[in-house]
Amino acid sequence: MEDLQSLIRIPGVWGSLARVEERLLDAAAADDPYLTKIAQHLLLAGGKRFRPLLALLAAEFGPSRDHRPVEAGVSVELIHVGSLYHDDVIDEADVRRGAASVNANWSNTVAILAGDYLMARASEVAATHLSQESVRLLAATYAELVEGQTRELQLDFDLDHGVAEYEQVIAGKTASLIRTSARLGAIAADADDDVVESLSLWAWELGMVFQIADDALDLVADEETIGKPAGSDIREGKFTMPVLEALARENSSRVRELLAGARPYSDQIVIEVIDIVRSGGHVDSALAEATRRLEVASDALRGVPDGEPKQILQTLGAYLLGRVDAART
Ligand code: GRG
């Protein structure tokens, strides 16, 4: 977060983000104090607010200055946080944003209900403050998240799928909402149509890079840095780009043998898989793919007016990949 603050030196964006924080808590407030406590739990636990920040940054490219970009930021963060409530139920996660997850602290039932509540509130915020096209887009993105998550479940522990299917998963579960964040922000500030399109293309690639980098972190960082033991994705049967690339190699028989073995995988198995993946250069090649996508993202910004906001967008990708380099053990 501090890093993002030094990267995004536009005071108006941070002023608007403070307003997003207030509005998020408003939107998660129910008549029932019990539901309010649960619905506000993860909002109060922190988070980078990457999606509202993208909405606010994209809004810098439009002429209008009113409350709508803040509401765009609120609606995308509510969808994001709602999906985290559900994701933690699916993964039986204990910790989220450094705090006890809602399912661990209360129950799965409560986490599902509160996640639904946040989703419903996101729709209400968008329908009250944003255009009909934005409401449609948010609903379509919500569907894409579910599709991405469902596809991921189908591929769990599958040794025979490839990078194309992985990309399909991360497109749905991550890039779609990142793109919608930028798009809603730009539309909310009445940016020109071609600027909205360029920012959407840029954000799509950034979203893909965001997830590729996050997945690489799981293979290179220690528990202290990522808040969970390294190799958690492998333990859960989520084979990300570097692991899939290792599996696709002709000499992959050892990785294949390890991952086809008895489950749950032992620590020793996970460590050996990570060793083979890292020493085979597969983390590096995933990061090279991320860098290639950043070039595509950068090209998408050609038609966008020059200035400080554009310069910031150009550096955000390097920030995401820098997190991986900084965390390498
Ligand atoms: C009901 C919309 C809905 C979804 C159900 C569970 C699910 C289907 C989708 C899950 C999508 C998901 C959790 C994707 C992972 C996205 C991701 C990269 C999360 C981490 O985002 P950060 O790093 O987290 O921005 P913070 O905490 O900083 O906000």
Tell me, using a 6 A CB cutoff, whether residue 142 lines ligand 1.
yes
Q: Nearest residue CA, atom 3 of ligand 1?
A: 83
Q: What value does the mean pLDDT take over residues 290-300? A: 97
Span 27-50, mean pLDDT? 97
Which ligand 1 atom is at minimum distance from the Cα of 210? 18
CATH architecture of structural domain 4-328 = Orthogonal Bundle (1.10)
Omega before residue 264 within 30° of 0, cis: yes
Query: Rounded mean pLDDT of 301-312?
Result: 96
Residue 191 CB neighbour total at 10 angstroms: 24
Residue 201: predicted pLDDT: 98
Nearest atom of ligand 1 to the alpha carbon of 177: 16
Q: 2 falls in which pLDDT band (50, 70, 90)?
A: low
Q: What percentage of residues in the chain have a pLDDT greater than 90?
A: 90
**58: nearest Cα among 188, 204, 208, 177:** 188
CB atoms within 10 A of CB 146: 14
Q: How far apart are CA 213 and CA 209, in angstroms?
A: 6
How would residue 230 be classed by pLDDT, with cut points 50, 70 and 90?
confident
- Which residue lies with its CA nearest to atom 29 of ligand 1? 47
Tokens of 274: 């990570």
Report whether the peptide linkage leading into residue 229 is cis, meaning its omega lies within 30 degrees of zero: no
Q: Angle at which helices 50-59 and 193-220 pack, to 10 degrees?
A: 150
% residues pLDDT > 70 (the chain): 98
Ligand 1 atom at shortest distance from the alpha carbon of 79: 2
**How big is the chain, counted in residues?**
329
Residue 211 pLDDT > 60 = yes
Please give the pLDDT value at position 221. Answer: 86
Mean pLDDT of 215-233: 85
DSSP letter for each residue of 223-241: HHHHSS-TTHHHHTT---H
pLDDT mean across residues, the chain: 95
Ligand 1, atom nearest to 214 Cα? 18
Mean pLDDT across 271-292: 96
Predicted pLDDT at 326: 86
CB of 19 within 6 A of ligand 1: the answer is no
Q: Which of 181, 242, 245 is nearest to 217 (CA)?
A: 242
Under the banding of pLDDT at 50, 70 and 90, the label for residue 72 is very high
Is the pLDDT confidence value at 329 over 70? no
Apex 51 CA angle, 45 and 53, nearest 5:
95
Mean pLDDT, residues 188-193 taken together: 98
The answer on pLDDT for 1 being more than 60 is no
**145 Cα–ligand 1 center, Å:** 8
* DSSP state letter for 104: H
Between CA 287 and CA 208 the distance in angstroms is 11
| Atom 24 (ligand 1) nearest CA | 47
Give 3's pLDDT tier (boundaries 50, 70, 90).
Answer: confident
Q: Give the pLDDT mean for 85-101.
A: 95
> In this predicted structure, what is the pLDDT of residue 325?
84
Which residue's alpha carbon is at the smallest distance from atom 6 of ligand 1?
Answer: 87
Q: Look at residue 52 and tell me whether its pLDDT is greater than 80.
A: yes
Pocket test for ligand 1, best of 79, 86, 156, 217 (most atoms within 8 A of CB): 86
pLDDT at 254: 95
- What's the whole-number mean pLDDT along residues 28-45? 98
Q: State how far the Cα of 74 lies from the Cα of 202, in Å rounded to an integer.
A: 21
Given this model, what pLDDT does residue 228 score? Answer: 73
- Crossing angle for the helix pair 132-155 and 108-129, to the nearest 10 degrees: 150
DSSP letter assigned to residue 172: I
CA 250 to centroid of ligand 1, rounded, Å: 34
